[in-house]
Structure 1
Amino acid sequence: MGPEAAARYAGRIQSVPRPVAAMAACYPASTTSTRHAHRRGQFVLQIAAVTSMTTDHGGFVIPPGHGFWIPPGIVHQSRSWGDAEIQTLYIDQDSVPDYPRKCRLIRASPLLQALMDEVTCMPLLYDEEARDGRIVDLLLGEIGRMPEVSLHVPIPADPRLARVCEAVLADTSSCMTLDDWAAHGGMSRRTFTRLFRRETGQSFSAWRQRVRLLEALARLGTGEPVTSVALDIGYDSPSAFTAMFRRELGDAPKRYLRWSDPSVVVR
């Protein structure tokens, strides 16, 4: 289903009398949702293209083959980079009381992806005591054991810092200096750097580099060449960008994204 139908359907299935309600949807490139929250927890599995997710606590990027957990009541907004395909679960939190109370990005195992395929094909009122119920139980356990991936940036609570962060997110290639950003936040350089580190646990330059990495990952996931992405987000050369990417994510861009290519056959 498309984005408008998906939004209506998601609202209707929040109260289904089962631990899990599932759906699949397609979102054209640049589709941006409204800021919203759900009564149930939400698990999103990215099938194709890339989705970026913004919450009050930070921004995340979800590449193919990755899943994103959003606890109940967390306000979020999504944007699709490329023509995105996703599978979504809405999970009754009472069914998984040990699930985390904060957003969490994971790499999805082949088993998890196969189970998601099964669950999205089930009727909403599946038989909890038969095969469908056992598959749901296995899926919930598999989601809970997947390794977490750090593809996010925190958003400070201080409104002045948040204003600066929003401006950086809007233009990741900006050439503004640290002094310029401090002035944008209405603070001295010293106050800005001290407060930023206290609220985020990292320097502003490290945070900004992370933002650039996440945008690069989103754009690479749509098929853009490494060279054009590297130059557009402010790197002097593709090699400098690749070195940063490898340092942060442990692999070169093409190899990292090939790991999560949904067309790869697992034998």
Structure 2
Amino acid sequence: MPKPTPAPPTLPIDRVGEIARPVVVAGADYPSGSLQPLHSHRRAQLLFGLAGMMQVVTQDGAWVVPPQHAVWIPSGREHLSRMLLPVTTCSAFVEPEHAPRQAQTCQVLEVPPLLRELLIEATRIDPLYAPNSREEDLMRLLLAEIGRAREIPVHVPLPQEEKLGALCRSFMMAPSIRSRPGEWAEQLHTSERSFNRRFLAQTGMGFQQWRLRACIVNAISRLALGHSVTVIAYDLGYERPAAFSTMFRKMTGHVPSAHPAALGAVRRSR
């Protein structure tokens, strides 16, 4: 049986803010490579990728959103969205005073089956749903489930400092666990100790923790594109794929082959 897909949005996204309801949900389809330039919403947004894969970038960092995951974007947070694969989305736009999450930066969230079905069903609801109705009850449950959703570690903070930020962006294109802070310090003409202090101050993370996070994000992106676990492991600098799989499971809760990004790639290939 085919999986249900969201109904088309009943109103343009730029009119969502006009609807006097705590939460409004709309669905949309985007082709691969499409870009929504830097923008913000008065409402908080839960952007769910029913299919495909997205990247969300803010001044604070970058988040990769695998299939069957969502990104929570706080109210007023400027962001751009890039579709790395064709994407079908469900977006829940939440009035700030009803926001079920208090994070000040974006979060990528797991979407369990109940939350998924609530989002899909909500796209079929008239945005002007009646108070004290089944539809309002569904929206209340939707907000509760958004608040309960588990965050996954796919945020890579980016430094504001120009030279360090350029090094980080370059590293994210081809990350490796073998990269050493001393190598970065040389490129910045500073001592390793000064570099480590500078990196922590700019990103809020130690270099090794940040390096591992960048490797995880890269791996998730490549799993979604159908790359093999073995090739990804070696490209990231691991001597044995098993060591990569252990690290990946510790960070994400899934072995690579069972991650939603990998499972989505398998489904698309059939």
Same fold per superposition (TM over 0.5): yes
Q: How does 1:34-183 map to 2 (within 5 A)?
A: 34-96=37-99, 99-172=102-175, 178-183=181-186
Distance in 2 separating the partners of 1:50 and 1:81 = 5
Q: Indicate the residue corresponding to 2:18 in structure 1.
A: 15
Distance apart, 1:214 and its partner CA: 0.4
Q: Indicate the residue corresponding to 2:5 in structure 1.
A: none
Distance in 1 separating the partners of 2:102 and 2:213 = 26
Distance in 2 separating the partners of 1:262 and 1:235 = 23
Distance in 1 separating the partners of 2:247 and 2:207 = 16
Residues 98, 104 of structure 1: alpha-carbon distance in 2 compared, 3 angstrom cutoff: closer
Q: Indicate the residue corresponding to 1:215 in structure 2.
A: 218
Match of 2:58, as an amino acid? T
Distance in 2 separating the partners of 1:258 and 1:176 = 26
Q: How does 1:189-204 map to 2 (within 5 A)?
A: 189-204=192-207
Residues 15, 127 of structure 1: alpha-carbon distance in 2 compared, 3 angstrom cutoff: same
Q: Indicate the residue corresponding to 2:3 in structure 1.
A: none
Match of 2:25, as an amino acid? A
Report the secondary structure of 1:100's partner residue. Answer: coil
Contact 2:64 2:217 in 1 (8 A): yes
Show structure 2 runs of 5+ residues with no match.
1-7
Q: Indicate the residue corresponding to 1:27 in structure 2.
A: 30
Q: Indicate the residue corresponding to 1:229 in structure 2.
A: 232
Match of 1:238, as an amino acid? P
Distance apart, 1:199 and its partner CA: 3.7
TM-score of the superposition, structure 2-length normalised?
0.82
Contact 1:51 1:218 in 2 (8 A): no
Match of 2:138, as an amino acid? I
Q: CA RMSD in A?
A: 3.1
Distance apart, 1:143 and its partner CA: 0.7
Match of 2:77, as an amino acid? I
Contact 1:63 1:260 in 2 (8 A): no
Distance in 1 separating the partners of 2:240 and 2:84 = 23
* Identical pairs, percent: 32
TM-score of the superposition, structure 1-length normalised?
0.82
Residues 138, 263 of structure 1: alpha-carbon distance in 2 compared, 3 angstrom cutoff: farther
Report the secondary structure of 1:35's partner residue. Answer: strand
Distance apart, 1:104 and its partner CA: 2.2
Distance apart, 1:219 and its partner CA: 1.8
Distance in 2 separating the partners of 1:179 and 1:78 = 34
Contact 1:49 1:222 in 2 (8 A): no
- Aligned residue pair count: 259
Distance in 2 separating the partners of 1:263 and 1:240 = 23
Match of 1:150, as an amino acid? P
Distance apart, 1:48 and its partner CA: 1.4
1:179-233 deviation per Cα after TM superposition (whole angstroms, max 9, x unaligned): 4433444534332122113443443233122212101102212322223333444
Residues 96, 194 of structure 1: alpha-carbon distance in 2 compared, 3 angstrom cutoff: closer
Distance apart, 1:263 and its partner CA: 11
Contact 1:52 1:218 in 2 (8 A): no
Which segment drifts farther, 23-32 or 130-139? 23-32
